[in-house]
Structure 1
Amino acid sequence: MTAHPEASGLGRIGVVTFPGSLDDGDARRAVRLAGGEPVALWHRDADLRDVDAVILPGGFSYGDYLRCGAIARFSPVMGKVSEAAREGLPVLGICNGFQILCESHLLPGALTRNDHLHFVCRDQRLRIDNAETAWTADYAPGETITVPLKNGEGGYIADEATLDALEAEGRVVARYLGGNPNGSRRDIAGVTNEAGNVVGLMPHPEHAVEPLTGPTTDGLGFFTSVLKKLVTA
């Protein structure tokens, strides 16, 4: 694991809370441990409060009715997030946040029911395939990390043309190692948009940021990466 020194200065990182969010507090803590300033955003907010980046956390937004993330994409805050993301604002969607990003068409593909039809919760090994995004630049290309995974609808799918394009353009951010936990096509655990500022990741880096509570501190790099990006931007 590459060392992740504390970012210089503070960056205001907004963490959205939807009805049913579970990991918003963990995401704010991860931002704080990385050296940033967490800013709580509410799903009905029509103002991003001048944040420098946004995290959409894990959970069950709006109870996962219809499809995971299908209702959250219409919340007032997502209108602002989508607009800002298209203008370059760094956005990270974790688990349910990844689902929301796909439903909002900020990322391609969709997340579907795990192929074994069971909820999975385990420490998961990942390989970082793209270390050039706003959220992964603190890792080395090909670096292996371990972070928790917990999902029932985490299977990433897309048509073959989209999958081929993601591969060719280097937009697969991370892949599962040690067995595919949910049937994701091509072992994909996370993807990015063309600009590299929007990243969706099914596993939970915010649960691996300190020795007391995580299996590792391997997840901290997602948060230090964006803070360093903000400092050098």
Structure 2
Amino acid sequence: MKPRALVLSGYGINCERETAHTLRLAGAEAEIVHFSELLYGEKHLRDYHLLCFPGGFLDGDHLGAAQAAAHRLRHARVVGSGERLLDQILEFIEAGKLVIGICNGFQLLVKLGLLPALGGRYGERRVSLTYNDSGRFEDRWVWLRVNPDSPCVFTRGLSGLLYFPVRHGEGKFVAQDEDVLRELFRKGQIVLQYAHPQTGRPTQEYPFNPNGSVEAVAGICDPTGRIFGLMPHPEAFNHFTNHPRWTREQLPPETPGLKLFKNAVAYLRETLLS
């Protein structure tokens, strides 16, 4: 039985097709669903196992990246039932299902307070993503160091350095204070960090850290490891020919981007579909 994945679309999202394609390659039954289909009760999250917030430019990034969308999700009620859409998402999480936010989707998760959910408290905004230090949109490939001690479901079995593209104007990770950062590190919730390709270590050096993220943070998870947000685009490296040097390097047939989604599918089969 294939786990069912809901890939959101609409209001400026523009990466839903390649994300759904990658999920299908990974073994999921992926369906692209417009925000309005949830708001009008045509679709319900209870019928899915994985929720994906893809990348894009939600509402044109007005009020800050994903801020307007976070306001909509926080207050919108399903037509007919009056149920808050945010309550659907919280029930989805409590049922042990998976959530991933990529780029603009990551921004949405932190604006909603679904990440980092320190102490299991969802809804508190403790971190954010703001304008790149470079003052411009960054579109490049970056190296990422994986935290092997993270509880993140999506990165299980991945180690060393990953290579994914980024494309964002507001990707600088910042935390409320030093205590938040210390707790994130202590609990292994820092999943990915921008790394220098020669040393393999987290770096603040531009362009290897493309946005100036504090502590080079590129991706985080909640304490359960089931909610994952990252600025790089794993779905954009679902086949070895996506790599910018695929004609000049010997690359494995299974990319780390595809492996990341295969981990999610395997987890769901083991826990919810077995």
User: Structure 1 residue aligned with 2:225, among 193, 196, 216?
Assistant: 196
Q: Check whether the contact 2:45–2:92 (CA below 8 A) recurs between aligned residues.
A: no
**What does 1:88-107 align with in structure 2 at a 5 Å threshold?**
88-107=96-115
Structure number with greater Rg is 2
User: Structure 2 residue aligned with 1:31, among 20, 23, 35?
Assistant: 23
Q: CA deviation at 1:78?
A: 4.6
Q: Check whether the contact 1:41–1:48 (CA below 8 A) recurs between aligned residues.
A: no
User: Structure 2 residue aligned with 1:152, among 169, 172, 178?
Assistant: 169
Distance 1:182 1:62 in 2: 22
Q: Check whether the contact 2:151–2:223 (CA below 8 A) recurs between aligned residues.
A: no
Distance 2:270 2:129 in 1: 33
Q: CA deviation at 1:88?
A: 2.7
Match of 2:123 in 1: none
Q: Per-residue displacement from partner, 1:18-45 (whole Å, max 9, x unpaired)?
A: 3101101110011011111101222121
Secondary structure of 2:241's aligned partner: coil
Counterpart amino acid of residue 40 in structure 1: I
Could you tell me the TM-score, scaled by structure 2's length?
Answer: 0.77
Matched, 1:65 2:62: yes
**What does 1:1-233 align with in structure 2 at a 5 Å threshold?**
9-44=1-36, 45-46=38-39, 47-48=44-45, 50-73=47-70, 74-75=72-73, 76=76, 77-108=85-116, 109-130=127-148, 132-140=151-159, 143-158=160-175, 159-178=177-196, 179-215=208-244, 217-233=255-271
Q: CA deviation at 1:49?
A: 5.7
Distance 1:18 1:163 in 2: 33
Identity %: 34
Q: Check whether the contact 1:39–1:51 (CA below 8 A) recurs between aligned residues.
A: no
Distance 2:30 2:157 in 1: 19
* CA RMSD across the alignment: 1.7
Secondary structure of 2:140's aligned partner: strand
Q: List runs of 5+ in structure 1 lacking aligned partners.
A: 1-8
Deviates more, 1:39-48 or 1:189-198: 39-48
Q: 1:58 to 1:79 in 2, by over 3 A?
A: farther
Q: CA deviation at 1:62?
A: 1.1
Distance 2:105 2:94 in 1: 17
Q: Check whether the contact 1:26–1:207 (CA below 8 A) recurs between aligned residues.
A: yes
Distance 1:232 1:13 in 2: 16
Distance 1:78 1:16 in 2: 14
Counterpart amino acid of residue 164 in structure 2: V
Distance 2:141 2:90 in 1: 31
Q: Which has the higher contact order (CA 8 A, sep 6+)?
A: 1
Counterpart amino acid of residue 144 in structure 1: L
Q: 1:26 to 1:78 in 2, by over 3 A?
A: farther
Could you tell me the TM-score, scaled by structure 1's length?
Answer: 0.90
Q: CA deviation at 1:79?
A: 4.5
Distance 1:93 1:11 in 2: 18
Q: 1:138 to 1:37 in 2, by over 3 A?
A: farther
